[in-house]
Amino acid sequence: MAIWLVLVIAGGEFLARALLTSPSAQLFDPAIGYVNAAHSGYFQAREGFQHLRLNALGLNSPPLGPKMPGHVRTLFIGDSMTFAAQVPREANFVSLVGRQLPGLETVNAGRDALGPQDWPALIDRLEPAVRPDLIILMVSRGDAFDLRDSGARIPRSADGRPSGITRPPSGRDALQERLEPVMRHSALATFLVRRANSEWTTLRTGDSWTGWAIRGGRPGMAKRNSGSERLDRAEIEARIVAILDLIKPGRRLVIVALPAFRYEAHRKVEPEPRSQAEAGLFEAAARRTGIPFIDAGPAMTAAYARTGRPLTGFHNSRLGEGHLNAEGHAVVATAIAAGLGAIR
């Protein structure tokens, strides 16, 4: 019996590494939840089928060398949309922007589940090694909600200015720390944990097949992505402004909004509920802090109206959902390059 169990586990591990994912590259980090390990491999087959090799900083970027004279080194900070595990490195929008704008050297510091509450710590950590001339803060669907739910606190000095940010450990962080030793060595464990986390999230939102079965086929109340969640816009905008005030001194910043859409018939799009609820928050904060703002949304809408092809989704997932596909990255890159060209 023990031998059969070992064989089953070994077979599952082999199949997981070949067809599903790689062992986790994530290392627990108390400041921002986790970082990706240096020189680690990253493979996923949930959206597309892609192998990546991270650099010495754990980033989805080429090895970092000395800055080229006269070039502007640009650091992109963002979540999984920026990390772009679904497409080849040379096809993601960070790389494409660097190719479209001569003299611009791009570094991709995207990371899954990164939110505005993590920006100060990540920038402080990467800045000595990267030495960027420009930092681009990518914002995408859910960032304002993630900031709201993070429990991050922003103390202020006697004159009312933000003096720092503290991010209390979450239950997810604690789970990450406990499971890391297993997930770092097992693709099967990594897949099962991520699948369970995804199922738990969708179970809570009413979108889960498990929840549908438990309810006897009755629809549930969708919460997370229904657009019905309340968002205190004034309070969230004030927190975004405080975070920007923390990281702005001595740095050149640009904010880029990457909205999410539902791709409808007749080449029309509708903002996804969370994206719609957050609309304008980061633009207003950018205006208040004097930071240039680029909205990739109009270019994405125009591209779908022109081609009828959704900018998200893959052959092995749902078209029109999830992360940017190669065409989506190309459209976003062109929008960012045009915006930066107008700013420079």
DSSP three-state, residue 163: coil
- List, for the chain, all residue ranges whose pLDDT scores fall below the cut of 50: 204-212, 214-215, 217-227
pLDDT tens digits, one per residue of 207-260: 444 444 544 544 444 444 444 567 899 999 999 999 999 999 999 999 999 999
Q: CATH topology for 2-191+220-343?
A: Rossmann fold (3.40.50)
| pLDDT for residue 15 | 62
| pLDDT for residue 154 | 96
| pLDDT for residue 220 | 44
* Rounded Cα–Cα distance for residues 133 and 103 (Å): 12
| pLDDT for residue 184 | 66
> What number of other Cβ atoms are within 10 A of residue 232's Cβ?
11
Buried b (16+ CB within 10 A) or exposed e, 302-339: ebbeeeebbbbbbeebeebebbbbbbbbbbbbbbbbeb
Task: Write down the pTM of the prediction.
Answer: 0.88
| pLDDT for residue 177 | 61
The upper half-sphere exposure of residue 182, i.e. CA atoms within 13 Å in the direction of its Cβ, equals 13
* Rounded Cα–Cα distance for residues 324 and 317 (Å): 12
| pLDDT for residue 167 | 84
* Rounded Cα–Cα distance for residues 260 and 297 (Å): 8
Q: Which two structure tokens, joined as six digits, stand for 126?
A: 């990467």
Distances (CA, A) of 309 to 12, 253, 262, 320, 332: 36, 32, 12, 8, 14
* Rounded Cα–Cα distance for residues 328 and 288 (Å): 30
| pLDDT for residue 26 | 87
Could you tell me the residue ranges of all domains in the chain?
Answer: 2-191+220-343
| pLDDT for residue 73 | 98
> What number of other Cβ atoms are within 10 A of residue 94's Cβ?
28
Rg of the chain in Å (alpha carbons):
20
Phi, psi of 333 (to 5 degrees): -60, -45
CB 219 within 8 A of CB 211: no
| pLDDT for residue 28 | 87
> What number of other Cβ atoms are within 10 A of residue 124's Cβ?
12
| pLDDT for residue 168 | 82
Q: What are the DSSP calls for 58-92, one per residue? A: S-SSPPP-PPPTT-EEEEEE-SHHHH-TTS-GGGS
* Rounded Cα–Cα distance for residues 144 and 281 (Å): 8
| pLDDT for residue 211 | 47
Nearest to 115 by CA among 60, 167, 73, 164: 167
Q: How high does pLDDT run on average in the chain?
A: 86
| pLDDT for residue 14 | 54
Nearest to 204 by CA among 233, 229, 179: 229
| pLDDT for residue 183 | 67
* Rounded Cα–Cα distance for residues 24 and 187 (Å): 7
CA angle 316/317/322 to nearest 5° reads 140
